[in-house]
Amino acid sequence: MSFLDNDRPETARDVPPAEAPSGARLVPRVTIQAFCEQSQTAQMIEDAALDRRMAKVALTTHNGGLEGAVETYRTNPTPNLVIVETTLPAETMLGALARLAEVCDASTRVIVIGHVNDVVLYRELMRAGVSDYIVTPTTTPALVNAISELFAGEGAAPIGRTIAFVGAKGGSGSSTISHNVAWSVARAIRQDVLVLDLDLPFGTVGLNFNQDPPQGMGDAVFANEKMDAVMLDRLMSKAAAHVNLLTAPATLERTYDLDERSFEQIIELSQKQVPCVILDIPHIWTDWVRYTLAAVDEVVIIAEPDLANLRNAKSLADVVKGLRPGESEPLLVINKAGIPRRPEIPAEEFAATIECRLIGQIAFEAALFGTAANNGQMIAEVSATHKINDLLRTIGLEVTGRSAAEAQSRAAGLKIPGLLRKLKRA
């Protein structure tokens, strides 16, 4: 049996409706081998291996195209996925693929990169069992998307969007902003948000939300292989409607020398549980911080408008861009703007220097933020009508990929049933 023996009906790919972009689906630990005819195609596939979604994939490229793949697999086992490039015309391509099918395992999937743009050919290939047909010229993101969709499986549930907040300098207010943005997202969109406090020794999520759960992020990190969806649900604490937390232990009873992928499993499990995962990243630079920033969907840099923050933000932005080729640049929020008598760098100039998009500028409000911190409350709880709430809401909609109009529409939709009940009673 081979991949050409699959008798499946011709179906279009149905993308489930979503209110906003969901998180990037990581490709599982699979082996992929590509056989190329042109150097440009080989380079594109090698670039795909650098994509964050392909971090777990073992990918190798070879020359020879379709015929090279046939010769290779006469004496070698086939991987999980074979990518073959062919310049053959439509009338001979199916015959060549039949020869490849004879030497492939039944479970092997095949993506064909061809030079013939023909709808009839595409339908015949899909009917024959080819996983996907990509017409050149194409791009690295398009190829990665095809691979990601292939291993996601039909009917796979969407996964949550991950947003990392990181301060350019200690004390820039990254934790405070991330917590308040999480609150704003939960209120504006009415979907579950999970805040992960990754600052294990000094995290403030518990303090800011006035929560002191007996278990949290520390138990999750050190659970190792025992960590699963059931355990994650047990370790999460509920701070408010739609707001969930994994609080840091915030103790110095032990040191926290973590491996590069220490938080990887927790983040992936969280993405399957909630639509929005907000990561509160501490102001340190370690292997796991670097790896985590490379793996999330969005990176938000929080900075004060001074020279030290500018230097650090520039360094952070450059590294993040290098870790995420082809992804959107980090977003910038200027915090504590307008401190009396302090010389400041204008926000637009700050953003232009570090080459990041400015999505918010939060004014220095010592009394407001100090009261909220001391009471274990969010800004909206201390002063529901303060203009900063609108700014936090705008930042939340931006990082989750939504628009203000969309959120208003959803909120209005939730109010309609109550309105209809009143009209029916009348």
Q: Can you give the residue ranges of every domain in the chain? A: 23-152, 161-410
Encoding tokens for residue 43?
Answer: 């380079």
**384-397: per-residue pLDDT in tens?**
999 999 999 999 99
Q: Is 59 helix (H, G, I), strand (E, B) or coil?
A: strand
Q: Is the pLDDT of residue 216 over 60?
A: yes
Let me know if the fold of 23-152 is the same as that of 161-410.
yes
The class of domain 23-152 in CATH terms is alpha beta
pLDDT at residue number 20: 55
How many angstroms separate the CA atoms of 299 and 320, rounded? 8
pLDDT at residue number 14: 35
Peptide bond into 137 cis (omega under 30): yes
Query: Do residues 270 and 279 make contact, with C-beta atoms less than 8 angstroms apart?
Result: no
* Residue of 338, 345, 339 whose CA lies nearest to 308: 345
The CATH number of the domain covering residues in 161-410: 3.40.50.300
Q: Indicate the residue type of 384.
A: A
- Percent of the chain whose predicted confidence (pLDDT) is above 90: 66
pLDDT at residue number 135: 92
pLDDT at residue number 151: 83
**Range picked from 108-117, 175-184, 262-271, 409-418 for highest mean pLDDT:** 175-184
Query: Do residues 45 and 59 make contact, with C-beta atoms less than 8 angstroms apart?
Result: yes
Query: Do residues 410 and 19 make contact, with C-beta atoms less than 8 angstroms apart?
Result: yes
**276-322: per-residue pLDDT in tens?**
999 999 999 999 999 999 999 999 999 999 999 999 999 999 999 99
Name the pLDDT band for 129 (thresholds 50, 70, 90). confident
Q: Is the pLDDT of residue 118 over 70?
A: yes
Q: Is the pLDDT of residue 18 over 60?
A: no
More confident residue, 31 or 409: 31
Name the pLDDT band for 21 (thresholds 50, 70, 90). low
Name the pLDDT band for 155 (thresholds 50, 70, 90). low
Encoding tokens for residue 246?
Answer: 């994994």
How many angstroms separate the CA atoms of 375 and 365, rounded? 16
Q: Indicate the residue type of 79.
A: P
Taking residues 58-68, report their average pLDDT: 92
Q: Is the pLDDT of residue 55 over 90?
A: no
How many angstroms separate the CA atoms of 350 and 318, rounded? 14
Encoding tokens for residue 279?
Answer: 């990561």
More confident residue, 374 or 22: 374
Q: Mapped to the 3 state alphabet, what secondary structure does 331-392 carry?
A: EEEEEEECCCCCCCCCHHHHHHHHCCEEEEEEECCHHHHHHHHHHCCCHHHHCCCCHHHHHH
**326-352: per-residue pLDDT in tens?**
788 999 999 999 999 999 999 999 999
pLDDT at residue number 189: 86
pLDDT at residue number 405: 46
pLDDT at residue number 28: 84
pLDDT at residue number 345: 97
376 backbone φψ class: left, alpha, beta (φ>0; ψ -120 to 50): left
